[in-house]
Amino acid sequence: MTISSISRGLSAALAVVVLSAAAVSAFADGKGWTESLKEAQQASKDSGKPILANFTGSDWCPYCISLEKEVFSTEQFAKWAADKVVLLKLDFPHGNRQGADLKQQNQAMSAKFKIDGYPTVVFMDADGAELGRSGYFPGGPEHWIKSAEKLLGKRPKPPAAEAMGVAATLADGLEQAQQMDCPLMLVVTPAANAAARKATETAFADKEFIKLANSRLAVAWLKELPAKGSDEEKALADFKKQHKLGAMTTFAALLDLKQDKPLYQATVLPKPQTVVAAIGKSLPKTAYNGGWLEDYGTAQAIAAARKRPILLNFTSGAASSLCVKLDSQVFATDDFRKYARQNLVLVKVDFTKLQPLTKDIQKQNDDLARKYEADKFPTIVLLDTDGKQVGKLTYQLDGPGPYIEKVKKLVFGEKQDR
């Protein structure tokens, strides 16, 4: 094959790529491609669909262009993808110009997944865990989709959400709040309001909401209004009056029972992420003395209330000499303890064989290690005040002062003086 014939083939294939560019704008409707990893991850979280990440050299790689033309540009693939995956394009062009941020994002993803050839199609979940790989092979969309379906069919099903205790009556909710010594979240959704009921079901099934509720809330959900003239109707009316909830028949309210005041109110619960963030900010501050926490959900609640970063310490304790050194030379020192007490929330993600852990904490630690790719000990993961990973550290032989400075730089930048 001559260079000129290859050039003509590339030009024709590129025309298809250009023609398919209109499909990119359809991403807002869940049907097209995005180039933003953050946007794809959010769409994956919202929909529960895996991400199809296409590592491609769109303007120079013949097989990439063939995959685009023979599969991705077809109507059959578009219909399948709209129902099954979130589409993410990670492009490494030779001629097309890219912004610095996009180029940096794509290079980071290439390094993370060790991409050594194009096209490479990586299926992953919203947290970036790889589910499988594919690429270009002849046979058209039907053959490619069948292969993708087989690959995705092997992925493990997401674990069922842990149980959340939800009281069915106001009286039971009040008793639960008294026993837990915590605020009460009361949700009332009459049968006629199907949208409010659906929104509540979505929020109450969310993993982060469940963690927050189990650690810091009592929850009561009245799916029906009490019968007219009943003691329950009178009790609800008196309760609403006492806590200044007005005449709403459909509402969600987080209530501080000790001070008789609402901390958060909504007519219909918004998306789970919004609910968790709003409630986390509204809750009274949880007592925290700067020590190591075991439960990540509690740490998140404290971090949200205090607007602090989180330090995750993935450790195997005495089984690792480096973990022992890091603990004795940094974490156990007065300097570090003082700094952490004022600035951080500390979480020990323990993999010590001799340390007994509950089943829930063990699963939590496994999930965190997988999410943050902590495959050796010690690994220190730093999350900023928004809960986003900003860096990793490990053992370094330089004492508490320099270690604290490294933490400061990663989570606060250069500006923190404390």
pLDDT in tens, 6-36: 344 444 343 333 333 343 334 334 448 999 9
Second-level CATH architecture of 166-282? 3-Layer(aba) Sandwich (3.40)
Q: How far is CA 232 from CA 185, 239, 240, 353, in A?
A: 17, 10, 12, 52
Distance CA 96, CA 304 (A): 42
Quickly state the pLDDT bin for 155 (edges 50, 70, 90). Answer: low
**Is 206 or 348 the better-scoring residue by pLDDT?**
348
**Is 393 or 297 the better-scoring residue by pLDDT?**
393
The answer to whether the CB of 221 falls within 8 A of the CB of 168 is yes
pLDDT of res. 300: 81
**Is 110 or 207 the better-scoring residue by pLDDT?**
110
Looking up tokens 């619960």 gives 269
- Domain 166-282 matches domain 292-412 at the CATH topology level: yes
Tell me 377's DSSP state: S
Q: Which CATH number fits domain 292-412: 1.10.3720.10, 3.40.50.720, 3.40.30.10, 2.102.10.10?
A: 3.40.30.10
By CB atoms closer than 10 A (0-12, 13-18, 19+), residue 58 is buried
Angle subtended at Cα 78 by Cα 48 and Cα 5, rounded to the nearest 5 degrees? 135
Quickly state the pLDDT bin for 140 (edges 50, 70, 90). Answer: very high
Kindly state the tokens that stand for 99: 């912004």
pLDDT of res. 257: 86
Quickly state the pLDDT bin for 212 (edges 50, 70, 90). Answer: confident
Q: Which of 44-48, 158-162, 347-351 has the highest mean pLDDT?
A: 347-351
Q: In the predicted model, is pLDDT for residue 95 greater than 70?
A: yes
The amino acid sitting at 77 is F
pLDDT of res. 350: 92
Quickly state the pLDDT bin for 180 (edges 50, 70, 90). Answer: low
Give the torsion sign (CA, 301, 306, 312, 313): negative
pLDDT of res. 20: 38
What is the arithmetic mean of pLDDT over 60-88?
95
Report pTM: 0.41
The answer to whether the CB of 55 falls within 8 A of the CB of 92 is yes
pLDDT of res. 46: 85
> Is 3-153 a CATH 2.60.40.10 domain?
no
Distance CA 272, CA 374 (A): 27
pLDDT of res. 216: 76
Distance CA 18, CA 21 (A): 5
Q: How many residues does the chain have?
A: 418
**Is 284 or 83 the better-scoring residue by pLDDT?**
83
Distance CA 35, CA 134 (A): 19
Q: Euclidean distance between the first and final Cα of the chain, in Å?
A: 67
- Please spell the DSSP secondary structure of 54-112, one letter per residue: EEE-TTT-HHHHHHIIIIITSHHHHHHHHHH-EEEEEE--SSS---HHHHHHHHHHHHH
Break the chain into its structural domains and give their ranges: 3-153, 166-282, 292-412
Percent of the chain with pLDDT over 70: 86
**Is 13 or 262 the better-scoring residue by pLDDT?**
262
Q: What is the residue-averaged pLDDT of the chain? A: 84
Q: In the predicted model, is pLDDT for residue 5 greater than 50?
A: no
Distance CA 389, CA 396 (A): 20
pLDDT of res. 11: 43
pLDDT of res. 86: 96
**Is 95 or 34 the better-scoring residue by pLDDT?**
34
The answer to whether the CB of 51 falls within 8 A of the CB of 44 is yes
pLDDT of res. 334: 92
| Tens digit of each residue's pLDDT (9 = 90 or more) over 224-236 | 889 899 999 999 9
What is the arithmetic mean of pLDDT over 398-406?
92
Distance CA 121, CA 134 (A): 5
